[in-house]
Amino acid sequence: MNVTVFGEGIERVAVREITPSITWITHCLGDQVTDYYADFFAGMENPEEFVSNRVVDYPYSAFIIKDDKSILFDTIAPRQRANVLKALELALGDRSLDYIWISHVELPHGGNAAAIQKQYPDARLVTMRGGDHYGLHGLDDALLVAPGDVIELGQHTIEMVDALFGDHGLTQWAYERTTGFFYSADWGHNLHEPSRGQCFMFVDEMEATGYTREQFVDDVKVNARIQFPWLAWTDVDEIAAAVEKFLQQYDIRIFAPSHGNVIRKDPQKYLKLFPEAMRQAVALAARAAR
Amino acid sequence: MIRNVTEDLVQLGACVEGDHGHEAVRVYVLLNNGRPILIDCGSHLHRYSLMQELEEVLDGSTPEYVFLTHTELPHSGNLPQIASRWPDIKVMVSHIMTRYIEIVPVLPLAQITTVFPDTTLELAGRKFLFLSALLKDQPSTHWIYDIKTRALFTGDGFGYYHAADKCDQFADEIAGGIREEQFRAYQVNVFRHMRWVIPEKFNADLDKVFQRLDVSILAPTHGDAIRTEIPVHLARVKQAVTKISNDFRHGGR
């Protein structure tokens, strides 16, 4: 595993290449995970509804696609700022950064936008049209985009995707048409175990250390329960149908969530589990709301 | 602008102007007999005027707590200035919050406490109930009920846009109060998940909150305080939820 790690503990940031044109930049806690997430599953309202009580880590990620132009998806948080800037320098080398694309305005997603723009003054902020008052969120003068809009990088084309499930009102997803890279922001996470050495692994590598599809369903549903508590008031069939329709619409070959490890091999093995995982998430949220 | 909601509860902050009208960005201060508590701490955009207002209202007293309804920058962006001015201040946030990464790193983590929903705590000599927000634009949003004034601090919930000539006016100072369309225009923008929500289910749970709590003041961050006719305004918010959901249902989710 060829990974470069800058810093340590709550400030560390790792850089790993997914393909020669796509780089994963991620923060997770590693050895310090028990300080924050020791009871991730046990602390839920329905702990019996999960297949295992793993001590899991919760990554915060950004991604770069390099071409004639380059784009950064999300920024990680101010706590990791110094190491994010080092990671960008490593990932970009001599290239410029042309776009800083923000999925939504929470600090772990957009909290370093201004600092990165200061380092790369030609980079244009990109965020979702429809919101108002982006100055309040530190995103003045952003290019506002809507689902279906595209940004051409050269060989790569970024398509803005309507976020079916956002934990913040103004959330967008992104799909790259050439590679099938899909950035899902806060949806569809897997969780990894530092004690099994799974930090910075791709999911196919995690499988070799014990990660299972049953655990994946657990991870998707526990995250959906936390991120989207409003699922309690939805129709389970409508949610599952929306997921199925979405998966038919996009040929996803690299699934890249903000808070999970990257799925780069045989993604269908996991993508096909999403409708059922979301069904379970709706049921879980509804029971928790009672 | 400084306005007294009650003798003990003060509303501060400014507005921003956009395509949808004016949006208030409020900070509430409970004076609390010289042991002040802030609810949300405002935007970095308003930091200079806000810190002046805080100095005037606090009149030399030191705030003990900031209760953050959630940590989006419109609610926490002024925390660096507050932490610099009052470095011993303690912050209360929802248990969903991961303290080390979801809040601007300007205070020691030991000064940031997470609270589970349905928890009643006595803080600065005063009792508060922390409860999970029903209207939330961030998962870690909670509502805070001040048992003494019966004020419910709702973050983005019960927010609304207002006209340029209605800045800083309480609902009871506006003929007819806050209209359903004002709530709806704000909610459709902020709570996009409403496209999936079945309004009857949501509204029933919202009613349960108000059946449980005797609310006399609604204190939204993105609106001015609502001090009268709480049931009327609650009904309008529920109507807004219903219309938003139905519009999505008929227009496609």
Task: Give the pLDDT confidence score for residue A262 in this predicted structure.
Answer: 98
Query: Does position A202 have pLDDT exceeding 80, yes or no?
Result: yes
Residue B81 CB contacts under 8 Å (≥ 6 apart), including other chains: B47, B50, B51
Please report whether residue B153 resides in a domain: yes
Please report whether residue B236 resides in a domain: no
Q: Give me the count of residues in chain A.
A: 290
Say how many Å lie between the first and final Cα of chain B, rounded.
40
How open is the CA angle A164-B188-A283, to the nearest 5 degrees?
45
Query: Does position B64 have pLDDT exceeding 80, yes or no?
Result: yes
Task: Give the pLDDT confidence score for residue A50 in this predicted structure.
Answer: 80
Which of A80, A111, A132 is facing B189, going by the closest CB pair? A132
Q: Which pLDDT band holds residue B180 (cuts at 50, 70, 90)?
A: very high
Q: Which pLDDT band holds residue A173 (cuts at 50, 70, 90)?
A: very high
Please report whether residue B183 resides in a domain: no
The reply to whether A236 touches chain B by the CB within 8 Å rule is no
Cβ of A149: how many Cβ atoms within 10 Å?
16
Distance CA B104, CA A192 (A): 26
Query: Does position B137 have pLDDT exceeding 90, yes or no?
Result: no
Please report whether residue B62 resides in a domain: yes
| Bridge partners (DSSP) listed for residue B113 | B92
Distance CA B160, CA B224 (A): 9
What average pLDDT does range B73-92 have in this prediction?
96
The answer to ipTM > 0.85 is yes
The reply to whether B18 touches chain A by the CB within 8 Å rule is yes
Mean of per-residue pLDDT scores for chain A: 93
A169 touches B192 (CB < 8 A): yes
Task: Give the pLDDT confidence score for residue A132 in this predicted structure.
Answer: 66
Angstrom CA distances, A130 to A143, A169, A182, B135, B157, stand at 12, 10, 22, 19, 19
Q: Quote the number of domains for chain B.
A: 1
How close is the nearest chain B Cα to the Cα of A54, in Å? Answer: 18
Q: Which domain holds residue B17?
A: 3-167+213-228
B104, B112, B116, B193: best to mutate for the A interface, most A CBs within 10 A: B193
What ranges in A157-212 are assigned the alpha helix state H?
A: 203-207
pLDDT digits (tens, 9 = 90+) for A68-100: 999 999 999 999 999 999 999 999 999 999 999
Of the candidates A203, A172, A167, the one whose C-alpha atom is nearest the C-alpha of residue A186 is A167
Record: contact A169-B253, CB cut-off 8 A: no
Q: Which amino acid is at B25?
A: V
Rounded percentage of chain A residues whose pLDDT exceeds 90 = 82
pLDDT digits (tens, 9 = 90+) for A21-64: 999 999 999 999 998 888 778 777 777 778 777 889 999 999 99
Distance CA A161, CA A258 (A): 15
Which CATH number characterizes residue B71's domain? 3.60.15.10
What's the CA dihedral at B216, A136, A146, B21 to 10 degrees? Answer: 60
> In terms of CA atoms, which chain B residue is nearest residue A229?
B139
Please report whether residue B116 resides in a domain: yes
Query: Does position B72 have pLDDT exceeding 80, yes or no?
Result: yes
The reply to whether B106 touches chain A by the CB within 8 Å rule is no
Record: contact B74-A136, CB cut-off 8 A: yes
The answer to whether the Cα torsion of A228, A232, A236, A239 is positive or negative is: negative
Instruction: Look up the pTM and report it.
Output: 0.95
With residue A222 as reference, give the H or E element that holds it: helix A213-227
A263 touches A203 (CB < 8 A): yes
Query: Does position A110 have pLDDT exceeding 70, yes or no?
Result: yes
Query: Does position A133 have pLDDT exceeding 90, yes or no?
Result: no
With residue B21 as reference, give the H or E element that holds it: strand B21-30
Please report whether residue B173 resides in a domain: no
Task: Give the pLDDT confidence score for residue B15 in this predicted structure.
Answer: 92
Query: Does position B226 have pLDDT exceeding 90, yes or no?
Result: yes
Out of A32-46, B63-77, B128-142, B167-181, pick the least confident. Answer: A32-46
Task: Give the pLDDT confidence score for residue A197 in this predicted structure.
Answer: 97
Please report whether residue B241 resides in a domain: no
B32 touches B68 (CB < 8 A): no
Task: Give the pLDDT confidence score for residue A46 in this predicted structure.
Answer: 76
Please report whether residue B208 resides in a domain: no
